[in-house]
Amino acid sequence: MIKREPNTGAFEMSGLLYAIISSVFGLIAYASYSYALRNGEVGTVAMLCSIYPTLVFILGVIFLGEPITAMKIGGIVMILSGTVLLAH
């Protein structure tokens, strides 16, 4: 039988640290997006922001060892092809 410790209601420091780091990066991303919208063309900014799944895929492969499948590669090709087509 597994015994559990009583719930003390305290936060784990690692979870709190991740929440703070995530909040800081989210704030930086939002500020960068707002800056780009104010100073760039809305169509271009929106189009470039729509390719973020490609970056997430690459980071997942590098840092988390995510498998590279044909379906994922096909999705990345479609995202980048659509971006190129909209750019011209």
Q: Express each pLDDT in 41-68 by its tens digit.
A: 888 888 888 888 898 899 999 999 999 9
Asked if residue 19 is part of any domain, the answer here is yes
Mean pLDDT of 63-84: 92
- 56 and 35 both lie in a single domain: no
Q: Alpha-carbon distance 48 to 54, whole Å? A: 11
Residue 88 gets which letter from DSSP?
Answer: -
Q: Alpha-carbon distance 45 to 87, whole Å? A: 11
Of the candidate ranges 8-12, 13-17, 66-70, 72-76, the one whose mean pLDDT is the lowest: 8-12
Q: Alpha-carbon distance 85 to 39, whole Å? A: 23
Say whether pLDDT at 78 is over 90. yes
Whole-prediction pTM: 0.60
Say whether pLDDT at 4 is over 60. no
Mean pLDDT of 18-25: 91
Asked if residue 2 is part of any domain, the answer here is no
pLDDT range class, residue 9, cuts 50, 70, 90: low
Q: Domain count of the chain?
A: 2
